[in-house]
């Protein structure tokens, strides 16, 4: 069983912060399930990655990852010489849903994924990369804290889809291009496993620009060959962080972690614990996708987590939650976007 699955019990608390969706992401009330893109039906219950319907994001079709915030459109210049393989977080979170794994052709769930995680997270990469994001039979959030063979099987099924999608991507579309692996939450569980299976001990690691493993703990010695990024331009390395409110005393599940976690500050791209002020935050994107908010939070590393100040936005007086998991990417949207460009430039120079 993967280390990221074994952290278990408090993942419930992590997922609960999806109640912050109205702050950090927003799905329109429009019924997207009526769109032709969500009308596909799997003949055997499995994804067919030769069919673009089974990709939440793919460069051969328009999807929400292609969206560009109006605040960034003026200086947008696409240079898609690198591919990003993005794995979305858990969106199967309804307490009333008894499935342990999503069905691959669930129109409502696919639309929810596309207009939340794909729009607000995968779009970070659309200026500098071709974005590939497979739909997969994600495990229900309850699988994180069941800690039995059923939960193991649920994550194995989800990973099997991810693996198949990645193998098809390598065979049909990569054509020797450099790769970025990026993920959030459950996606990070699968991405970490993917890195160990396909990159470590393989020549493929020479094509790896960077890995963004966000929202889940990564043990210090989990990877044997891939180092931690210690500055903004390192390549062939990985970054990771989990975001909580500045000054928040870690909940028991983090305080009781018996391992050192890798935490990289997305405002400085270093692992030191100096405070990075709001002035270094070039812009987060919250509910309004078209409005970039510079200085939305500051950030500093505290033990195994990233502390961030309370986000600045109209109405933030009502924000009581101190777990900013849902905003791990949104709060640092433009910093990540700029960093992708920096690392790609450094990769080509090498």
Q: Tens digits of per-residue pLDDT, 274-318?
A: 999 999 999 999 999 999 999 999 999 999 999 999 998 777 777
The DSSP result for 8-65, as a single string, is GGGHHHHHHGGGGHHHH----SS-GGGSGGG----SSSS--TTSGGGEEE-TTS--GG
Element (H, E) at 85: strand 82-87
Identify the CA nearest to 108 among candidates 37, 12, 187, 188.
Answer: 37
CA 198 to chain centre: 19
| Residue 314 contacts residue 330 (beta carbons within 8 Å) | no
* pLDDT computed for residue 256 by the predictor: 81
Q: Residue 10 and residue 12: Cα distance in Å, rounded?
A: 5
Q: Tens digits of per-residue pLDDT, 215-237?
A: 999 999 999 999 999 999 999 99
| Residue 331 contacts residue 311 (beta carbons within 8 Å) | yes
Q: In the chain, what percentage of residues exceed pLDDT 90?
A: 78
- pTM for the model stands at 0.93
Q: Residue 192 and residue 265: Cα distance in Å, rounded?
A: 19
Buried b (16+ CB within 10 A) or exposed e, 251-276: eebbeebeeebbbbbbbbbeeeeeeb
When pLDDT is averaged across residues 196-214 and rounded to a whole number, the result is: 97
Query: For the chain, what is the mean pLDDT?
Result: 90
Show the 3-state SS of 214-238: ECCCCECCCCCCCCECCCCCCCCEE
Q: Tens digits of per-residue pLDDT, 100-143?
A: 999 999 999 999 999 999 999 999 999 989 999 999 999 999 99
């Amino acid at each position: 069983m993967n280390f990221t699955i074994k952290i278990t019990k408090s993942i419930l608390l992590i997922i609960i912060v999806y109640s912050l969706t109205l702050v950090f992401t927003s799905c329109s009330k429009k019924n997207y399930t009526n769109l032709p893109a969500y009308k596909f039906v799997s003949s055997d219950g499995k994804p067919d990655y030769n069919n673009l319907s089974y990709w939440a994001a793919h460069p051969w079709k328009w999807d929400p990852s292609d969206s560009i915030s109006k605040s960034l459109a003026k200086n947008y210049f696409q240079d898609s010489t690198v591919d990003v393989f993005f794995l979305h977080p858990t969106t199967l979170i309804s307490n009333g849903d008894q499935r342990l794994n999503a069905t691959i052709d669930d129109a409502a769930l696919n639309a929810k994924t596309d207009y939340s995680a794909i729009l607000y997270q995968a779009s970070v990469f659309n200026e500098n990369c071709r974005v590939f994001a497979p739909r997969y039979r994600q495990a229900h959030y309850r699988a994180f804290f069941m800690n039995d063979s059923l939960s193991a099987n649920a994550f194995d099924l989800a990973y099997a889809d991810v693996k198949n999608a990645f193998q098809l991507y390598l065979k049909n579309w990569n054509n020797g291009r450099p790769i970025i692996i990026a993920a959030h939450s459950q996606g990070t569980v699968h991405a970490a496993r993917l890195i160990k299976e396909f990159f470590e001990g393989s020549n493929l690691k020479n094509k790896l620009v960077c890995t963004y493993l966000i929202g889940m703990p990564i043990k210090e010695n989990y990877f044997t060959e891939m180092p931690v990024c210690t500055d903004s331009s390192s390549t062939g390395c990985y970054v990771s962080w989990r975001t909580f409110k500045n000054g928040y005393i870690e909940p028991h599940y983090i305080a009781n972690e018996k391992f050192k976690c890798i935490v990289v500050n997305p405002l400085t791209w270093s692992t030191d614990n100096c405070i990075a002020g709001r002035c270094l935050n070039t812009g987060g994107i919250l509910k309004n996708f078209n409005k970039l908010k510079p200085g939305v939070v500051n950030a500093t590393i505290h033990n195994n987590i990233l502390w961030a100040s309370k986000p600045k936005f109209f109405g933030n007086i009502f924000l009581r939650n101190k777990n900013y998991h849902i905003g791990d990417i949104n709060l640092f949207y433009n910093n990540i976007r700029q960093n992708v460009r920096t690392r790609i430039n450094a990769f080509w120079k090498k």
